């Protein structure tokens, strides 16, 4: 049995073919242009394979409730051409098979819980820190959804007293994403994060913000594992800084599980493999 997986992002759509036990047999990267063109290429790709079912992890915000009319629809994104586009029904015009849509980060959390750093645990959090910040959670083995998918990138956090950068979230100015995503790092320092020295004190500030978010998420969910991925987390010096800040902010109030904060067990394939898990559930 072959399963399909899509990780749809603002820059590229990655499509893959995999087996039910999580092995990727093939994959392709398609640049994100207009929805019609991008999803047209996606459909062409899958047409070559005998796929039973597809899991689609998308950038957001996206309708994730199968009982709502906006299921599989891109919602209010600033990305030109995409807001309101009915991605799922467009894909269904050519792909006559079950397709499950959720956010890329929810898929990543599911992938890590199934085959990655959170194997055997019934709860985990996956957070990506890159151009944006997003997170998905698994609790009791299932993706956390309420009246919408979660939006942890916009958590309200405390600004550091020595941080003179205002924040650049178009909605909330100085929320987590506005203070700690890649563009905030670049706006604050005048250089891309990847060009900053590993010893730059900006990384401690970054860790302070990410740790605040993790503390608040922990108090609400108590996930047994926290997996942090995304381009900014390639700065691996962040991991010890974040762990230390989390400990400091918790003030020994909570005893956290050992090795609580870790990099992805599936490398860059967390979301794509999570989409395979969803595809498998839906055969």
Q: Which residues bind a second copy (CB under 8 A)?
A: 123, 137, 139-140, 142, 144-152, 154-159, 171-172, 212, 215-224, 249, 251-254, 256-257
For residue 12, give the nearest of 33, 35, 41, 40 by alpha carbon.
Answer: 33
CA 123 to chain centroid, in Å, comes to 16
Residue 99 parent element (H or E): strand 99-103
Is the N-terminal amide bond of 24 cis, ω within 30° of 0? no
Q: Which is nearer to a second copy, 209 or 269 (CB)?
A: 209
Q: Which is nearer to a second copy, 195 or 281 (CB)?
A: 281
Residue 241's SS3 state is helix
Q: Could you give the C-alpha distances from 219 to 20, 124, 215, 224, in angstroms and in order?
A: 34, 13, 6, 12
Q: Which is nearer to a second copy, 20 or 250 (CB)?
A: 250
- What does DSSP assign to residue 75? -
Whole-number minimum distance, CB 9 to a second copy, in Å? 20
Whole-number minimum distance, CB 1 to a second copy, in Å? 28
Q: Tell me what percent of the chain is helix, strand and coil, each rounded to the nearest 5.
A: 35, 25, 40
Whole-number minimum distance, CB 171 to a second copy, in Å? 4
Whole-number minimum distance, CB 226 to a second copy, in Å? 10
Q: Which is nearer to a second copy, 147 or 199 (CB)?
A: 147
Whole-number minimum distance, CB 273 to a second copy, in Å? 22
Q: Which is nearer to a second copy, 92 or 172 (CB)?
A: 172
Whole-number minimum distance, CB 107 to a second copy, in Å? 17
Whole-number minimum distance, CB 175 to a second copy, in Å? 9
In contact, 242 and 207? CB cutoff 8 Å: yes
Q: Which is nearer to a second copy, 200 or 204 (CB)?
A: 204
* 46 burial via Cβ count (<10 Å: 0-12, 13-18, 19+): buried
In contact, 264 and 116? CB cutoff 8 Å: yes
3-state helix/strand/coil string of 125-189: EEEEECCCEEEEEEECCEECECCCECCHHHCECCCCCCCCCCCCECCCECEHHHHHCHHHHHHHH
Q: Which is nearer to a second copy, 157 or 279 (CB)?
A: 157
């Amino acid at each position: 049995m072959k399963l399909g997986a899509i990780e749809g992002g603002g820059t590229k759509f990655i499509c893959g073919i995999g087996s039910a036990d999580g092995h990727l047999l093939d994959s392709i990267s398609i640049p994100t242009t207009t929805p019609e063109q991008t999803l047209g290429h996606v459909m062409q790709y899958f047409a070559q394979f005998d796929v039973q079912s597809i899991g689609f992890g998308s950038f957001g915000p996206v309708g994730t409730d199968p009982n709502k009319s906006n299921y599989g629809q891109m919602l209010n994104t600033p990305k030109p051409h995409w807001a309101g586009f009915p991605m799922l029904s467009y894909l269904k015009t050519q792909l006559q098979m079950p397709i499950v849509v959720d956010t890329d980060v929810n898929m990543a959390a599911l992938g890590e819980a199934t085959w990655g750093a959170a194997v055997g645990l019934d709860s985990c959090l996956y957070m990506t820190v890159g151009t944006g910040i997003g997170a998905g959670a698994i609790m009791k083995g299932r993706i956390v959804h309420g009246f919408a998918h979660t939006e942890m990138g916009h958590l309200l956090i405390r600004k550091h007293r020595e941080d003179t950068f205002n924040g650049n979230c178009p909605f909330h100015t100085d929320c987590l994403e506005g203070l700690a995503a890649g563009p905030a790092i670049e706006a604050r320092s005048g250089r891309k994060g990847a060009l900053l020295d590993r010893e730059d004190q900006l990384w401690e500030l970054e860790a302070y913000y990410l740790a605040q978010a993790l503390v608040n998420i922990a108090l609400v969910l108590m996930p047994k594992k926290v997996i942090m991925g995304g381009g900014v987390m390639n700065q691996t010096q962040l991991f010890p800084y974040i762990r230390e800040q989390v400990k400091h902010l918790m003030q020994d109030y909570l005893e956290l599980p050992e090795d609580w904060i870790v990099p992805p067990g599936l490398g860059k394939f967390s979301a794509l493999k999570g989409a395979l898990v969803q595809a498998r559930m839906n055969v």
